[in-house]
Amino acid sequence: MRDHQLVTMARKDFDDAIRSKTVWALSGALALIAIFATFRVSQAQLPQGFPQRFLPVLVLGGLTQWISWIVCILALIAGYVSIVGERRTGSIKLLLGLPFERAEILVGKVLGRTAVIGVGIAAGFLTMIASILVLVGLTSPLDFLWRFVGMFLATVLLGGVYTTLSVSTSAIVSTRRRAVMAVVALFVVTQAIWTGITQFFYSVFAGGAVPLQPPSWYLFLTYLSPSAAYSRVVSLVVPIARYPGLGLDGVPRRAVQAQQSGAFYLSEYFALLVLLVWVVGSVLVAHSVFRNADLG
């Protein structure tokens, strides 16, 4: 892969995808949810001794789960037709007439679409900071700012993971219909029923239901999904799990247990690695198929 070709491919794809109305509709949804969540936190009853300056960070924590859902949907929708759509319409013939390796097309598209998702996420985050300023107020702006930027970067990474998954899917399948079915399956498996899957594994390998204090290997399984790994990474900058008893959405018991377990594979940095493995793994699988696909 050559840098110049990657950048050319990514820029073309960015210019194309950024003009998609779907992407802007979903970014709008992210912004609306940001306003709503900020409003809820501003109205919440907080436990005794909870530091007031920590309130804006609480908004970020409360949003983690919502963001991971929206970003997942946004990235899957933005990416699933990226390659199969060009194959079906024939515009891929214009690309393939140019000196691009197929790997450059694949990775260039991942980069371009991730940049588009990044813009959508930035729009959502700007709305979020505006509504925090209005509804909650900032007492220690600097402390909040680095957490905010950290969470933004983690969210772009999550967007990158799901964009990679959807663009990879798009490179593997040969019809739009299959692409839709595949990204719906990805959404269901990684977002909706991941916990159910891990519980099934537990019952097979350990027998019975998952106890209240599960073993570390089970916690590790639950953190293998991109959105769970994301929430783990976010806790680096938004350490909401250190305040058990807040009773907010998005702070599951497991987060606290992972925080307390001390196993290296449950650490935030390991979750970062998990996200990178998703990216690299899906690109490698997609390339092995796309490399020899009949694109005529």
Partner 1 sequence: MAAIETDALTRRYGEVVAVDSVDLTVEQGEVFGFLGPNGAGKSTLINMLLDYTPPTSGEARVFGHRTRGEAVAIRERVGVLPDAYKLYERLSGRRHLEFVVQARQADDDPDDILDRVGLDPEDAERNAGDYSKGMAQRLVLGMALIGEPDLLILDEPSTGLDPNGIRLMRDIIREEVDRGATVFFSSHILGQVEAVCDRVGIMNEGRLIEVATLDEIRDTIGVGTTLHVTVDQQPDLTLSDLEAMDDVSNVRADGPELTMNLSDSTAKAKVINRLEEGGATVVDFETAESSLEELFAELIDEDADEPEPEVSA
Please report how close the Cβ of residue 1 comes to partner 1 at its closest, in angstroms. 11
Q: Running DSSP on this structure, what letter comes out for residue 191?
A: I
Binder among 49, 99, 207, 208 for partner 1 (CB under 8 A)? 99
Q: Is 275 one of the binding residues for partner 1 (CB under 8 A)?
A: no
CA-based nearest residue to 40, from 182, 190, 248: 248
Structure tokens at 223: 């953190």
Count, residues near partner 1 per rule CB under 8 A: 25
Burial class (CB in 10 A: 0-12, 13-18, 19+), 223: buried
Select the residue interacting with partner 1 from 25, 32, 36, 93 (CB under 8 A): 93
Stretch that binds partner 1, among 6-14, 150-158, 213-221, 251-259 (CB under 8 A): 6-14
Q: Give the C-alpha separation, 169 to 172, whole Å.
A: 5
Cβ-proximal residues to 166 (8 Å cutoff; 6+ apart), any chain: 75, 76, 77, 78, 79, 80, 82, 113, 183, 186
> Residue 170 in contact with residue 79, Cβ under 8 Å?
yes
Binding of residue 15 to partner 1 (CB under 8 A): yes
Site for partner 1 in 276-295 (CB under 8 A): 292, 294-295
Convert residues 38-77 into a mask of x (bound to partner 1 by CB under 8 A) and - (unbound). ----------------------------------------
In 3D space, the residue among 237, 235, 228 whose CA is nearest the CA of residue 278 turns out to be 228
Contact 251, 133 (CB under 8 A): no
- Which one of 12, 40, 53, 178 is in contact with partner 1 (CB under 8 A)? 12
Subset of 192-211 contacting partner 1 (CB under 8 A): none
Q: Contacting partner 1 (CB under 8 A), which of 54, 80, 100, 220?
A: 100
Query: At 50, is the secondary structure helix, strand, or coil?
Result: coil
25 binding partner 1? (CB under 8 A): no
Binding stretches for partner 1 (CB under 8 A): 4-5, 8-9, 11-12, 15-16, 19-20, 89-91, 93-94, 96-101, 292, 294-296
